Amino acid sequence: MFDNLTERLGRVVKQLRGEARLTEANIQDALREVRLALLEADVALPVVKDFIAAVREKAIGADVVGSLTPGQALIGVVHRELTALMGGAAVPLDLATQPPAVILLAGLQGAGKTTTAAKLARLLRESRKKVLLVSADVYRPAAIDQLHTLATQVGVDWFPSSPEQKPVQIAKDAVDWARRHYNDVLIVDTAGRLAIDEEMMREIADLHGAVTPIETLFVVDAMQGQDAVNTARAFREALPLTGVILTKLDGDARGGAALSVRHVTGAPIKFVGVAEKIDGLEVFHPERMASRILGMGDVLSLIEEAHRTVDVKEAQKLAKKVKSGKGFDLEDFKAQIVQMRKMGGLAGLMDKLPAELARAAQGASVDEKKIGRIEGIINSMTPGERAKPEILKASRKRRIAAGAGVTVQEVNQLLAQFEQTQKMMKLVTKGGMQKMMRGMRGILPGMR
């Protein structure tokens, strides 16, 4: 996400090399680049104007301190203003009410409300909340069945409804059921439309009045760009929005909606959808997102993801093997692939890395499909073969290749890669970080 914007803003830093301080003269061209970068990212024009004015006011005359270059100083100002534009700080859900705390989801059809309802329910369940899901979408075929399936998948309660019922009555009945069954949170998925119309807005307003939600969240597709802003404005006028959920942010290289929607609605962005999978919903941190836009990465989110997904016992077991320099086998190799998959795969990891590291990783020419094939090859081996890959001769390799649906050459490539990884592990145990980096040059062709 934000690839185009990150690349353009990187050029701004290079333009200001050699200057002693930020002045009206040298900042004008840089701000023109920033303006073009934001417009290309599909940020709304009024938002761009306000943003550029704020950056100019704070940047002109700013001293370049210490080892900072003027470009870095400007990026510091841009980072602070981006953070402010997107809300300043993360705003958690407000669930401080007598249960059930009702969360109403609103938005156009196709924005991903139903899937988002289940993703949000999963996050709340992990926070030890007893969640109830209900669908008030009586218009879209199979919408109710879809939410029922997702509720089962994420392990939360489900309140049945049918297309013959009125949405307002469904919501009222669900609130009553949640109260009697001691649910902490009720999430109401509402109907979307292909476009904004009076009937839709009247219905969602009636629903809001019937259940008095503590959170009214506007779900919007980040890939809509300028259209997302127009939709946001219409919903803001119809409902007292308390927050925004941006979906499909992983599929948008521009990211204009993320920078515009907070400014237009006045409501904080609370969550972002970063993957289609049921665990692909993240709390929105404006400062971290600003860092990602500017190519600084988001190491804090990466650490949090690791804490949430990494099996500590397995990690400790592997650490002991690495420390002893013995016993690192193909089963451990596969375990690392599984852990990486839990953290969102290569794409998810690289999106949170600083731009320079992400480019180096991409230069290593490793893709998700290749990783999947590696896992398939290891799964086709017997436990004995995984523990002692040196016993793999021609006949065994042919059997493994057939079982994994790959060529014998790919099996050989995996074994060669594993041998290099083993060598790297030994370098680590012998106290050689520099040796390890030299060793990695042989493993990752993108490294110099």
**pLDDT tens, 267-295?**
888 998 887 888 888 888 887 777 767 65
Specify the pairing of strand 281-283 against strand 215-221: unpaired
Whether 314 shows a pLDDT value over 70: the answer reads no
Closest to 84 measured CA to CA, from 287, 265, 255, 243 = 287
Q: How many CB atoms lie within 10 A of CB 68?
A: 14
Amino acid 10: pLDDT: 65
- What digits encode the pLDDT tens for the residues 17-67? 555 566 677 677 778 877 887 787 777 788 888 888 888 887 765 555 444
Closest to 352 measured CA to CA, from 300, 311, 309 = 300
Amino acid 33: pLDDT: 77
Which uninterrupted H or E stretch holds 102?
strand 101-106
Return the CA Rg of the chain. 26
Q: Which residues contact 209 (CB under 8 A, 6 or more apart)?
A: none
pLDDT band at 342 (very low <50, low <70, confident <90, very high): low
At residue 281, φ and ψ (nearest 5 deg) are -130, 130
Is-contact 78 261, C-beta < 8 A?
no
Which two tokens mark 372?
Answer: 């999947």
Q: How many CB atoms lie within 10 A of CB 223?
A: 21
Question: Measuring CA to CA, how many Å separate 419 from each of 4, 330, 442?
Answer: 38, 10, 11
Report DSSP state, residue 251: G
Domain 303-443 class in CATH: mainly alpha
Which uninterrupted H or E stretch holds 186?
strand 185-189
- When the pLDDT of each residue in the chain is averaged and rounded to a whole number, the result is 75
Is-contact 120 93, C-beta < 8 A?
no
pLDDT band at 13 (very low <50, low <70, confident <90, very high): low
Q: How many CB atoms lie within 10 A of CB 376?
A: 15
Q: Which residues contact 236 (CB under 8 A, 6 or more apart)?
A: 218, 264, 265, 266, 267
pLDDT band at 120 (very low <50, low <70, confident <90, very high): very high
Where are the chain's structural domains? 3-85, 101-284, 303-443
Is-contact 226 257, C-beta < 8 A?
no
- Could you tell me the fold of the domain covering 3-85? Four Helix Bundle (Hemerythrin (Met), subunit A) (1.20.120)
> Is 101-284 CATH 3.90.1150.10?
no
pTM for this structure?
Answer: 0.63
Q: What share of the chain is helix, strand, coil (3-state, %, to 5)?
A: 60, 10, 30
